[in-house]
Structure 1
Amino acid sequence: MFPHPEARLIAAGDKEGLGGDDLAGYVKRTAENLDALPPGPLFCGMRNNLASVFCYLGAWHAGRPIALLDPDLPAGTLAELAERFRPGALIGFTHPLDDPPPRRRAVPDPHPDLGVLLATSGSTGNPKLVRLSRRAVLANAGAIAAALSIGPGDIAPTSLPLHYSYGLSVLNSHLVAGATVVLTEAGLLERSFWADLASYACTSLAAVPYQYTMLRRMRFDRSKFPALTTLTQAGGRLAPELVREFATQVDRLYVMYGQTEATARMTVLPPGRLADKPGSVGVAVPGGRLEIDDGEVVYHGPNVMMGYAETADDLARGDDLGGVLRTGDLGRLDHEGFLHVTGRLKRIAKVFGTRVNLDDVERLLRGSGPAAATSGDDRVTIWTETLDAAARVRLARRLAGELRLHWSGFDVRHIEHLPLLATGKVDYRALESLG
């Protein structure tokens, strides 16, 4: 059963929360309401609140595929997605459309195995949707609960957006294990978040690399939160010095590696191996298997997506991948099967946990003179030949606005001449070697 009968949801500010028959009753009534909506996938502006979680769980129990999207999507982006995927309803968006686009032609019904749709990136280009089966979602939730030893006594806050695969996996893994999730829309920089962490005696905290950098700047002191025993990290590489620092703050720090295409997490590094496996992201989660094919990390497991979707027609397709995901990352396995990620095959960067296509970034750079984009730790580096210091600051802020990320995720640097290959193309490896 999903959620587990012992699972509990608490909205920040409430005392008891919902669990057992009360939670099941709310989910059932939501499912009945959603079942009465027009056919097609549901689009939910997924917030960290009860209404959104009920929408998600209600759609699950109604057997309706649901796209969990950024609730603050610009109206134009939402309209473009709705035009392509023909949702039956749009729920909970800040900039709602008056009505879903009319169905001018027959659209096939979504595949019966399809459960959840997640966007592959923030707002760059025309994002594809990742098609996740119900089996994949439950398999990954169970694998994470097992790997992290999550049980009914555990309590986790929503420290990440629930439309982000890592944030969603925290919700799923706790609900499937009979644990408690505290729903808060406050961020780590808000006092109310830490007040809730203390008052609800949260036992774990999930974060991406930039949040760990924030915690260091905030001089995070675990002694103020005696119930907090576990930290988890995914969403990009965490600097070794931060791994060492935060490992000393709690009983357990789990370093993980994942992708939306695998319903979130594929590997976990057990806390007891942090010292002797520096730089590793661990071993495959239960039920998964890793291999290296011509340098590329390939993951096998029941949590692999059914495939991508570009339009409503794609939602009717079955499983395209058969449980095999070519990650696009370069890596190696040591003699114990621990994975070390060494680079990327594709021009994809992760900025604050959000995937950014560097080719899309370079399209936005047109008109700014000779420029190129490379990925760094939790940021995109822009190399430009012609812009002065003030123009570089303006460019960082423009990119941040267009890609809906914080401006600090863009490091705009001057370079005398972009290095070129014999073909005349930019030598990205030479740029990356410059740091």
Structure 2
Amino acid sequence: MFPHPQARLVVAGEPHGLSGDELAPRVARGVETMSRLRPGPVFCGMRNNLASVLRYLAAWGARRPVALLDPDLAPGALADLVARFRPAAVFGFAHAPDGVPPARRDTPEPHPDLAVLLATSGSTGNPKLVRLSRAAVAANAEAIAAALAIGPGDVAPTSLPLHYSYGLSVLNSHLAAGGTVVLTEAGLLERSFWTHLGLHRCTSLAAVPYQYEMLRRLRFDQSEHPALTTLTQAGGRLAPDRVAEFAAKAERFFVMYGQTEATARIAVLPPERLHDKLGSAGVAIPGGRLEIDGGEVVYHGPNVMMGYAETAADLARGDDLGGVLRTGDLGELDGEGFLRITGRVKRIAKVFGVRVNLDDVERLVRDCGAVAATSGDDRVTVWAEGLAADRCAALARRLGAELRLHWSGFDVRGVERLPLLATGKVDYRELEART
């Protein structure tokens, strides 16, 4: 049952939360509102607050497809999405559109299995939406709850945006398992976040690699938060030495791998295997299966999306993928089924006719701090955070020597800060636009 009868929502700083008999009528009122709308999806600017979560649960209860989107979308981007998907209603955006377009007679109603729509990670311009079925959302929530042993005593803060698949999966897995979610819009650098983490005795914290670097700069000390026993990481590769460092600061540290197209998470590395599988992304979540086809990671499971959508007409389509997702990641499976990600199928550049893996370039110079690599015309551009101009040429020569290519194939640029998406991942498209 979703949400579980024991599931609880708490607004950070407030002494009491909503659960059971208190939560159900609030959701029921939202279901009634959703049911009065014309057919079609609803758009929700998904903030880490109670109003947004209640709208999400109301849409779920009304079997109404809901697009969970960045609440601060630029007016033009939101207007484009509204024009293409013709939602029945739009809620919670900082820049609300002037009404919604009427339904077109030739647009079929959304497929009855469709539950959630999420923007692909890093989407800009005219993003596709990922179509997630009710079964996929429920299956992933239950699989993660099982893999992480989440139960009614577990308490998690909203440390990630809820319109981001990893953040949403934290909410879903705790609601499915009867746990508690503390709703806060404060970030890790804000004192109030840590005050409320302690006040509500949060037991776990989810973060992406960039946030772990923030925690390192904050000199995170688990002893200052005795209830916090579990740390989880997804949203990109965290260097093995960082994994080991933070694993020593928590009773349980889970490394995870996933994609929005799989309703968030695909693989989990159990804490007890960290010591001998450091650098691995883990094994497939319960109910899933991994294989390697031509070097590409392929995932089979009930949490795979129905497919993409670019217009309202696409929402009527059924399941296009049949539970099989070609991830676009390159990887290897060992004899025990543990996955190691080695790069991206499309993260390949050519320098003087030689194929260069951009992920390998980043790993080679990670000792310089935060770096990102993008492809250009017969060269690789390396963006290094805080790197002085007089060191750029030296780094280019070093890369040339490491990869046995002429150093002029590497354009190294120092930047004050790497641009980041709301998920904490590097915004490669923004960097590419600068070249």
Measured against the shorter chain, the TM-score band is 0.7 to 0.9
Q: 1:342 to 1:384 in 2, by over 3 A?
A: closer
Per-residue CA deviations over 1:59-115 (Å, capped at 9, x if unaligned) read: 000010000000000000000011111111110000110111233552110000000
Question: Which residue in 1 is equivalent to 2:236?
Answer: 236
Runs of 4+ in 1 over 3 A off after TM superposition: 102-105, 372-380, 382-385, 392-401, 403-413
Asked if 1:147 corresponds to 2:139, the answer is: no
Specify the alignment match of 1:364 in structure 2. Answer: none
Partner of 1:342: 342
> Is 1:267 the equivalent of 2:267?
yes
2:343 partner letter? G
Structure 2 counterpart of 1:381, which letter?
A
Alpha-carbon displacement from aligned partner over 1:14-49 (angstroms, at most 9, x marks no partner)? 111100111011111111111112221000000000
C-alpha distance in structure 2 between counterparts of 1:235 and 1:404, whole Å = 11
Measured against aligned partners, the alpha-carbon deviations of 1:218-253 in whole angstroms (never above 9, x if no partner) come to 000111100000000000000111101100111000
CA distance in 1, matches of 2:25, 2:182: 19
Please list, as runs of the form range in 1=range in 2, the aligned pairs for 1:33-432 lying within 5 A after superposition.
Answer: 33-347=33-347, 374=358, 376=362, 380-382=372-374, 383=380, 400=419
Corresponding residue SS for 2:268: strand
The 1:54/1:255 distance shift into structure 2, 3 A limit, reads same
Q: Which amino acid aligns with 2:373?
A: T
2:76 partner SS: helix
Q: CA–CA distance in 1 between the matches of 2:300 and 2:221?
A: 39
C-alpha separation in 1, matches of 2:133 and 2:151: 24
- Give the residue type in structure 2 aligned to 1:333: L
Tell me if the contact between 1:8 and 1:18 (Cα under 8 Å) persists in the aligned partners: yes
Shift of 1:412: 7.6
Q: What residue number does 1:423 align with?
A: none
RMSD over aligned Cα atoms: 2.8
* Deviation for aligned residue 1:133: 0.2
Change (3 A) 1:4 1:396: same
The letter for the 2-side match of 1:126 is: N
For residue 196 of structure 1, what is the amino acid of its counterpart?
H
Partners of 1:229 and 1:30 lie apart in 2 by 35
Alpha carbons of structure 1 residues 228 and 120: separation in structure 2 relative to 1, 3 Å? same
AA at the equivalent of 1:231: L
Q: TM-score, normalised by structure 1?
A: 0.84
CA contact (8 A) 1:255 1:269 kept: yes
Structure 2 CA distance for partners of 1:244 and 1:34, relative to 1, 3 Å: same
**CA contact 2:235–2:423 (8 Å) conserved in 1:** no
User: Given that residues 161 and 422 in structure 2 are in contact (C-alpha distance below 8 angstroms), is that contact kept between their aligned partners in structure 1?
Assistant: no
Partners in 2 of 1:291 and 1:373 — Cα distance? 22
SS of match in other structure, 1:286: coil
Residue identity in the other structure for 1:166: Y
Structure 2: segments with no counterpart, 5+ residues: 350-355, 364-369, 375-379, 383-387, 391-410
Alpha-carbon deviation of 1:121?
2.7
CA distance, structure 2, for counterparts of residue 238 and residue 159 of structure 1: 17
CA–CA separation in structure 1 for the residues paired with 2:419 and 2:122: 11
Distance 1:33 1:408, change over 3 A: closer
Counterparts of 1:222 and 1:289, CA distance in 2? 34
TM-score in terms of structure 2 length: 0.84
- Contact 1:393/1:412, CA 8 A, preserved across alignment: no
Structure 2 letter corresponding to 1:21: D
In the alignment, the residues of structure 2 paired with residue 252 and residue 278 of structure 1 have an alpha-carbon distance, to the nearest angstrom, of 14
Q: CA deviation at 1:322?
A: 0.5
User: What is the SS of the residue equivalent to 2:342?
Assistant: strand
Q: Distance in 2 between matches of 1:394 and 1:404?
A: 23
The 8 Å contact of residues 396 and 412 in structure 1, kept in 2 or not, is answered as: no
Q: CA deviation at 1:122?
A: 3.4
Query: What SS does the aligned partner of 1:149 have?
Result: coil
Number of residue pairs aligned between Structure 1 and Structure 2: 388
| Helix, strand or coil at the partner of 2:213 | helix
